[in-house]
Chains A and B, each alone.
Chain A
C-alpha cells in the first residue's frame, strides 16, 4: 500500500524559511516523479513543483521559482521542499503526491504552512 507522510509544516514569519519532508513507502520510490501540491484555505488545488525519479530534473510553478527547491533522497525514500522568502500567499496545506500514468495517483494527508507575523 502506498503511503506518503508529510511533516515540517508550521507557523513562520514572512521572509522566513521552512523545510517540508515526505516519507514514502509501499512503492519503488526512485521510479516515480513526485510532486508538491498546495491548497490555500478555502481554495482549490495548485501544483507547486515536481522532480524526476532520479532527481535529474525538476520544475516549478512561476510563483515559487527562485524561492522553493524540491529535492529527494532515494536512499531514504524521502521527498523535500525547501521554502525560502516565504510570503503570506504561500499559506496553504502542502500535499506530497506520487505521480503515475499522467495523474497525481496518490496523496499524503498534507502538512499546513502558515506565513504570518
Chain B
C-alpha cells in the first residue's frame, strides 16, 4: 500500500505570503495519478490540481503543482484570505489520501 505523508502538518502564514506544501509517497507514484484538494471548514473538498501539475477548472493561477516520483509540491503564491484551509494530496491508483496540511492565518 502506498502511504502519503504531508508536511508540515500546519503552516501559519500571513495573506500575501507564499505557501509551499509537501507530499511524499512511500513508493514512486505516477504523476498522472497525483491530485491536490482544498477543504474549508464545513465544506466538501474541492479538486485543485490533477496530474501533479494541471489546474482544475476555475482554479486561480496562484495555485501550482509540481513534482514526480515520490516528492510532490503544492505552491500557493500570494495567499488570499479564502486560501486558508486544509489541503490534501491523493494518489488515485489506490485511492489513498495524505493526512492533510492546514494553512492557517499567522
- Tell me which of A44, A104, A110 contacts B100 (CB under 8 A): A44
- Tell me which of A46, A47, A109 contacts B44 (CB under 8 A): A109
Minimum distance in angstroms from B39 CB to a CB of chain A: 8
Cβ B44 vs Cβ A104 within 8 A: no
Question: How many B residues have CB within 8 A of the partner chain?
Answer: 22
Minimum distance in angstroms from A100 CB to a CB of chain B: 9
**Known contacts being A103-B47, A105-B56, is A46 close to B97, with CB within 8 Å?**
yes
Identity of the chain B residue whose Cβ is nearest the Cβ of A93 in the assembled complex: B44
79-117 of chain A: CB within 8 A of chain B: 95, 101-110
In this assembly, does B46 line the interface, its C-beta being within 8 Å of a C-beta of chain A? yes
Cβ A102 vs Cβ B95 within 8 A: no
In this assembly, does A45 line the interface, its C-beta being within 8 Å of a C-beta of chain B? yes
Minimum distance in angstroms from A92 CB to a CB of chain B: 13
In this assembly, does A71 line the interface, its C-beta being within 8 Å of a C-beta of chain B? no
In this assembly, does A35 line the interface, its C-beta being within 8 Å of a C-beta of chain B? yes
Cβ A101 vs Cβ B88 within 8 A: no
The interface bits of chain A over 37-50 (1 if a CB of B lies within 8 angstroms of the residue's CB, else 0) are 00000001111001
